[in-house]
Chains A and B, each alone.
Chain A
Amino acid sequence: MATTPMSTTSKATTMSTIQRLGVRVRSAAEALPLDAVAVAVQRLRAASDLLLAVRRQVDRPDAVPGVERAMEHVEQAGYALRVARERLATYLTSIGLGGAAPAPATSPRPHPAPSVAAAPPRARVSTPAPQPDWWAARIAVLTDGDVPQRRPDASWDADQLLRRVAEAVRGGDRGALRDMLTSAPAPIGVQLTARAREPLARLAADLLGHPPSAADLPRLARATESRVRSLLPGLPGHVLDTVLARTCRVAPDTHAAARPAHPADTPVASAVLTGVLLGLLGRSAEALAAEAEPHDPSAPPIPSVGVTRG
């Protein structure tokens, strides 16, 4: 059968429509504000460094305010933006426009070192200062144990810490969990919230059989709360409520997110909940490594179509 002029025109129009869609999606993906978020992280990190230095210099370090909560949220925002960009690239690939994936952000790492030039003068914030002990002290409270007297290993990264913590959780040994959490310094520990977000969503989806939603919150809480609380008896209840709500994509303002939390609480709760979910699914912590790889922000944003499968 010969191709009619009308069908040829229709096909050409369809192709052009898809291409226009691709341009719009690509343009929006490239406009995602990863650079602005990176600047915010940089500035807040500089502020955090200054305030941590003040804590080391005063008699009552607990009275010195911090910006850890703001840091946590902006780092999570950066992570969510990168995930969104990956998903959009996946979409473009699936409709035949994979070669036109958005370019990587110019500053993809969520934790750039603060610019020395931009750093203001510090009040006796000199050199290799000892690690602040607020992280270890809080871990001791959360796990109802003693503060370990040893220096944390600064060579760890947050993904590695998340896997080790998840392993300790699976073992059910609170002391081992405390040792693992305090083996990393505070700046690494506070990244656990952002690093656990994606694994939590995937593991919860696997446990529930579908992506978690608000309706799943009670079920997810029932399945995990007692195990989390047995490992973190000092964790304020509203912190776990908030982590569970976020996992189920419930808007935080409808839950306890507005209540103040110690900067260590949400990262620790997120990591422990990750371990609990792995245990319920009978998986090892090494499964997290495989899941984390596609989201390496330094990797080009050309995802495989299957990355969203848990």
Chain B
Amino acid sequence: MASVAEVKSAIDAAIAQINEGQAAVRVAAEKLAEAQQSLAAALEGSGHEAVGAAQASLFQAATDLEECLAATVAAIEQAQSYAAML
């Protein structure tokens, strides 16, 4: 069984990793928004099935990145609370 200090150390390390993951997700979301804008301008008026499917997938990706960010915020709060009550 690990000591409290060891558990807290592992949780702190996990939080640091989550923070880095959050930063990468934010970068991804920004780049994705730019790509969506660029594609929307280039492909405006297209009725091609593949274009519609691509744009739907990009919308889905943006939604998932938003939900990922929200989940990481919640995970950090929970990890901090857990570590605080040890």
Residues of A that sit less than 8 Å from B by CB: 21, 24-25, 27-29, 31-33, 36-37, 39-44, 46-48, 50-51, 53-54, 57-59, 63-67, 69-70, 73-74, 76-78, 80-81, 83-85, 87-88, 90-91, 94, 120-125, 246, 249, 251-252, 257, 308
**Chain A residues with CB under 8 A of B35:** 28-29, 31-33
**Chain A residues with CB under 8 A of B79:** 51, 65
Cβ-defined partner of A64 (8 Å) among B22, B24, B82: B82
B33–chain A nearest beta-carbon distance, Å: 10
Cβ-defined partner of A32 (8 Å) among B13, B31, B41, B51: B31
Residues of B that sit less than 8 Å from A by CB: 1-3, 6-7, 9-11, 13-18, 20-22, 24-25, 27-29, 31-32, 34-35, 38-39, 41-43, 46, 48-51, 53-58, 60-65, 67-68, 71-72, 74-75, 78-79, 82
A-B contact count (CB 8 A): 195
Task: Give CA–CA (A211, B54) in the complex, Å.
Answer: 14
Question: Contact between A57 and B2 (Cβ–Cβ < 8 Å)?
Answer: yes
| A87 in contact with B68 given A27-B38, A39-B24 (CB within 8 Å) | no
**Chain B residue, CB-CB nearest to A85:** B54
Question: Contact between B72 and A70 (Cβ–Cβ < 8 Å)?
Answer: yes
Question: Contact between A74 and B13 (Cβ–Cβ < 8 Å)?
Answer: no
Question: Contact between B61 and A69 (Cβ–Cβ < 8 Å)?
Answer: no
Task: Give CA–CA (A84, B51) in the complex, Å.
Answer: 9
| A81 in contact with B32 given A25-B39, A44-B17, A47-B17 (CB within 8 Å) | yes
Q: Is the interface of A mostly helix, strand, loop or mixed?
A: helix
Question: Contact between B6 and A88 (Cβ–Cβ < 8 Å)?
Answer: no
Question: Contact between B50 and A47 (Cβ–Cβ < 8 Å)?
Answer: no
**Chain A residue, CB-CB nearest to B55:** A84
**Chain B residues with CB under 8 A of A84:** 53-55, 57-58, 61
**Chain B residues with CB under 8 A of A53:** 10
Ranked nearest first, the 4 interchain pairs of A and B with the lowest CB-CB distance are: A123-B6, A43-B21, A65-B78, A120-B13
Question: Contact between A58 and B68 (Cβ–Cβ < 8 Å)?
Answer: no
Question: Contact between B18 and A76 (Cβ–Cβ < 8 Å)?
Answer: no
Additional 10 contacts, C-beta under 8 A, given A54-B11, A69-B75: A31-B34, A44-B21, A46-B17, A51-B79, A54-B2, A73-B67, A74-B68, A84-B54, A123-B6, A252-B63
A134–chain B nearest beta-carbon distance, Å: 15
B60–chain A nearest beta-carbon distance, Å: 4
**Chain A residue, CB-CB nearest to B8:** A123
Task: Give CA–CA (A87, B43) in the complex, Å.
Answer: 13
Question: Contact between B7 and A123 (Cβ–Cβ < 8 Å)?
Answer: yes
Question: Contact between B25 and A74 (Cβ–Cβ < 8 Å)?
Answer: yes
